[in-house]
Amino acid sequence: MSGSIFRVAAFAAGLFAAIASPLAASAAETPCQAPGLSRALHADAITRRLKQSRPVSILAIGSSSTEGVGASAKDRSYPATLEHLLQRTWPTARIRVDNAGVGGETAGATLQRLKQALAGPAYSLVIWQVGTNDAVKGDDEAAFRSMLESGIAMAREAKVELVIVDQQLFPGIKDMPRYERYVAAVSDVAGRNDVAVFSRFQMMRTWAADGREHLEAALSADAFHMNDRGYECLAQGLAAPIRQAVGPGVPVPVATVGDPSSI
């Protein structure tokens, strides 16, 4: 596979220290080394709404990794943990991360739901986790690329910033060359459209390179889905660039009851 998919993966482990969740305390857990995004976020909508003391809504959409299959509870999914981390960062703000994960979905089914979601109330950011089921099932690669293009176009038309989360790494991948082509497709299509990618595949490959036990410690009993620790690392990896984009000096006023700007 081309090295271009990982060229932008500048590791930012130190950046996570400021937002480390209280969950990150056990001894033999996977270290949350994660790649940075393939391009910096703007986060203009989030910043604006924080300054205006208006609610910030983020849509997390995808398949079982978004739904939280493998987590011990719903509040240990990555969207719930991301909401917790961002709320801790801006405690006077009202931040909601909607979990629109449906286990087993491929990109085409998620696209239909994304279209419906973007037709509703405006989101400040959309995080689209995509590609694992397509790669596992071996669906048409050209069609997969086309669906990525369609999702990006939908977000652009809705004027909402998009982050794409690519495929997971797991021990049971049967056809690694094919699987890596799907990973590369996400990087390629997003790169050509100037859309940020969080490479979960690269993050998990780093864990495996540090020792197979580090990868296994972040997977659930089925050795496919993430567990609580894996989802926490994913949430930390997404929270860091959001915080960085907004910046430390953004004042967040406390909303008062009846304040029209809080709607």
Q: 60 pairs with which residues across the strands?
A: 99, 127
Helix axes 141-157, 107-118, angle to 10 degrees: 10
pLDDT of residue 257: 38
pLDDT of residue 20: 36
CA distances from 149 to 127, 154, 184, 188 (A): 15, 9, 14, 11
pLDDT of residue 36: 86
Residue 213 domain flag: yes
pLDDT of residue 254: 55
Residue 72 domain flag: yes
pLDDT of residue 247: 87
Q: Is the dihedral of CA 79, 240, 18, 249 positive or negative?
A: negative
pLDDT of residue 252: 63
Rounded CA-CA distance 209/254 in Å is: 45
Residue 156 domain flag: yes
pLDDT of residue 211: 84
**CATH code where residue 49 lies:** 3.40.50.1110
CA distances from 172 to 176, 221, 223 (A): 10, 13, 8
Q: Within its chain, how far is the Cα of 131 from the centroid?
A: 13
Q: Do 235 and 163 meet the contact criterion of CB atoms below 8 Å apart? A: no
pLDDT of residue 10: 34
Domain limits for position 63? 31-248
pLDDT of residue 224: 95
Residue 215 domain flag: yes
Residue 186 domain flag: yes
Q: Do 210 and 54 meet the contact criterion of CB atoms below 8 Å apart? A: no
Rounded CA-CA distance 213/35 in Å is: 20
pLDDT tens digits, the chain, 263 residues: what are they? 444 333 333 333 333 333 333 333 333 577 888 888 999 999 999 999 999 999 999 999 999 999 999 999 999 999 999 999 999 999 999 999 999 999 999 999 999 999 999 999 899 999 999 999 999 998 899 999 999 999 999 999 999 999 999 999 999 999 999 999 999 999 999 999 999 999 999 999 999 998 889 999 999 999 999 999 999 999 999 999 999 999 876 766 654 434 434 43
Alpha helices in the chain (DSSP H): 44-51, 64-67, 78-89, 107-118, 132-137, 141-157, 176-192, 200-210, 212-216, 228-246
Among residues 216, 240, 242, 238, the alpha carbon closest in space to that of 229 is found at 216
The number of CA neighbours under 13 Å toward the Cβ of 249 is 0
Number of domains present in the structure of the chain = 1
What is the Cα Rg of the chain in Å?
18
Q: Would you list the DSSP string of 172-216?
A: T-S-HHHHHHHHHHHHHHHHHTT-EEE-HHHHHHHHHHH-HHHHH
Rounded CA-CA distance 141/57 in Å is: 32
Residue 188 domain flag: yes
Residue 259 domain flag: no
At 57, give phi and psi (nearest 5°): -115, 130
Residue with the two structure tokens 């930390």 = 236
Residue 54 domain flag: yes
Using DSSP, state whether 36 is helix, strand or coil: coil
